[in-house]
Amino acid sequence: MKRYEIHPAHAESPLRVAEFEPAPLGEHEVAVAIKAVSLNYRDLLVSRNTYFCNIPNGLVPCSDGAGDVVAVGKQVRLLAVGDRVATLFFPHWQGGRPDAASVTGALGAESAGAFTERFVSDESGLIKLPAGLSHAEAATLPCAALTAWNCLFEAGTLVPGQTVLLQGTGGVSIFALQFAKAAGARVIITSSSDAKLERARALGADHGINYKTHPDWSQEALRVTGGRGVDVVIEVGGPGTLEQSLASVCIGGRIAYVGVLTGLAGQANPVMLIPKAAALHGIFVGSRAMFADMLGAMTLHGIKPQIDREFAFGEAPAALARLESGGHFGKIVIRVGG
Ligand SMILES: NC(=O)c1ccc[n+]([C@@H]2O[C@H](COP(=O)([O-])OP(=O)(O)OC[C@H]3O[C@@H](n4cnc5c(N)ncnc54)[C@H](OP(=O)(O)O)[C@@H]3O)[C@@H](O)[C@H]2O)c1
């Protein structure tokens, strides 16, 4: 069987295909024939060993996979051979508030990831899929989609009629656009590309701002909200964009701090959160319970993940390069297995 391994020490070509023999299945374990994985910006950080934790040479990458159950251990109760499943980013975060135990073992960084023909996990680390999603679509959900869901409806406490501000047209932001529109919210989205803003409008975005031609885009966000500001911001940038988000958020609003696209060390002054009585909330993906809610909403509203491009198994380096280029809109998927 084949899987990808990451070798951060080989900076020029960190992704390698390796042959392996699957280990015997434990009593509580499930074997999944992975059919597709999706890439996240995090996979770039992992491949460069600049993620939050140290990445050992040989780690199997990717948190996000979907496939078919092909074998189950004797004590497995909830899954059966033939079930279609997706991986959980945090296999131990089943529900409730995160704690030290639930946010350990993240796939594709702290434990072996999904970029393998045969993925083995305790059944609690997998979630059964509804019929309406293909493997490729389902493979886009465990990280980006769940993060967007958590930002909007858990940390963001979004209600219909409120305004959401999204940055760029990558995986998290495009899922957030789709979810926010389904929930009856108004969406303002930024992008470096007018063509991508058009695509976002076609998906329901109410206002698009080109952050290259409007680097001070909070002014535009305030203008289109009549000076009030936005209720929820999903902050995927960091230094530079966080200052704009702090200026854009309304009194009583929430900034969900998710990403590091513009770097790790910023100078943003959060003091305006005080008179605005606004919240800055760090987000780390989400739990199985949130995933189940999200799948229910996607089924009800017929939400289909926006797949930028699907690559063949052997094209993983090209897929990672596409992610790095920032040319994508939504998610990049790689097919696995036959
Ligand atoms: N905390 C968590 O749980 C969590 C979960 C998922 C992701 N993340 C993080 O969130 C970030 C986004 O992840 P992703 O997977 O959605 O990334 P992605 O798909 O690679 O998104 C890339 C897009 O972000 C946009 N972008 C880049 N720089 C920008 C800037 N200065 N201002 C506004 N938009 C900018 C660009 O959109 P345009 O081409 O339209 O300009 C780019 O195409 C990453 O830092 C990732 O590590 C964190």
The pLDDT assigned to 225 comes to 98
Does residue 287 fall inside a structural domain? no
- Tokens of residue 133, six digits: 């999603």
Q: CA-to-CA distance for 229 and 200, rounded, in angstroms?
A: 20
Atom of ligand 1 nearest to the CA of 283: 1
Does residue 257 fall inside a structural domain? yes
CATH number of the domain that 266 lies in?
3.40.50.720
Whether 60 and 39 share a structural domain: yes
- Tokens of residue 106, six digits: 């993240």
Atom of ligand 1 nearest to the CA of 45: 47
Task: Choose one of 40, 165, 209, 236 to mutate for the ligand 1 pocket test, by most ligand atoms within 8 angstroms of C-beta.
Answer: 236
Whether 166 and 62 share a structural domain: no
Whether 28 and 75 share a structural domain: yes
Q: Which residue has the tokens 């929820």?
A: 232
- The number of domains in the chain is 2
Atom of ligand 1 nearest to the CA of 329: 43
287 alpha carbon to ligand 1 midpoint, in Å?
21
Q: Where are the beta strands (DSSP E) in 124-243?
A: 126-128, 163-167, 186-191, 207-210, 230-235
Whether 7 and 116 share a structural domain: yes
Secondary structure (DSSP) of 31-76 = EEEEEEEEE-HHHHHHHTT-SSS---TTB---SEEEEEEEEE-TT-
Atom of ligand 1 nearest to the CA of 282: 1
Report whether 275 contacts 298 (CB < 8 A).
no
| Domain boundaries, position 44 | 2-140+305-335
CATH number of the domain that 16 lies in?
3.90.180.10
Does residue 294 fall inside a structural domain? no
Q: CA-to-CA distance for 152 and 176, rounded, in angstroms?
A: 7
User: Over its length of 338 residues, how does the chain's per-residue pLDDT go in tens digits?
Assistant: 999 999 988 878 889 999 999 989 999 999 999 999 999 999 999 988 888 888 888 999 999 999 999 999 999 999 999 999 999 999 999 999 999 999 999 999 999 999 999 999 999 999 999 999 999 999 999 999 999 999 999 999 999 999 999 999 999 999 999 999 999 999 999 999 999 999 999 999 999 999 999 999 999 999 999 999 999 999 999 999 999 999 999 999 999 999 999 988 888 999 999 999 999 999 999 999 999 999 999 999 999 999 999 999 999 999 999 999 999 999 999 999 97
Does residue 288 fall inside a structural domain? no
Whether 53 and 176 share a structural domain: no
Whether 126 and 19 share a structural domain: yes
Does residue 180 fall inside a structural domain? yes
The pLDDT assigned to 212 comes to 97
- How many CB atoms are located within 10 Å of the residue 318 CB? 14
- How many CB atoms are located within 10 Å of the residue 142 CB? 29
The pLDDT assigned to 36 comes to 98
Whether 61 and 150 share a structural domain: no
Whether 22 and 112 share a structural domain: yes
Does residue 297 fall inside a structural domain? no
Residue whose CA is closest, atom 42 of ligand 1?
Answer: 326
Report whether 87 contacts 64 (CB < 8 A).
yes
Atom of ligand 1 nearest to the CA of 172: 16
Task: Choose one of 41, 217, 325 to mutate for the ligand 1 pocket test, by most ligand atoms within 8 angstroms of C-beta.
Answer: 41
Q: CA-to-CA distance for 286 and 143, rounded, in angstroms?
A: 8
Whether 83 and 174 share a structural domain: no
Whether 36 and 76 share a structural domain: yes
Whether 21 and 60 share a structural domain: yes
- Give the H/E segment covering residue 249: strand 249-257
Whether 235 and 318 share a structural domain: no
Does residue 183 fall inside a structural domain? yes
Ligand 1, CB within 6 Å, residue ranges: 40-42, 143-144, 147, 167-172, 190-193, 196, 211, 236-237, 241, 258-262, 283-285, 323, 326
Spell 146-185 as b/e; 16+ CB within 10 A means b. bbbbbbbbbbbebeeebbbbbbbbbbbbbbbbbbbbebeb
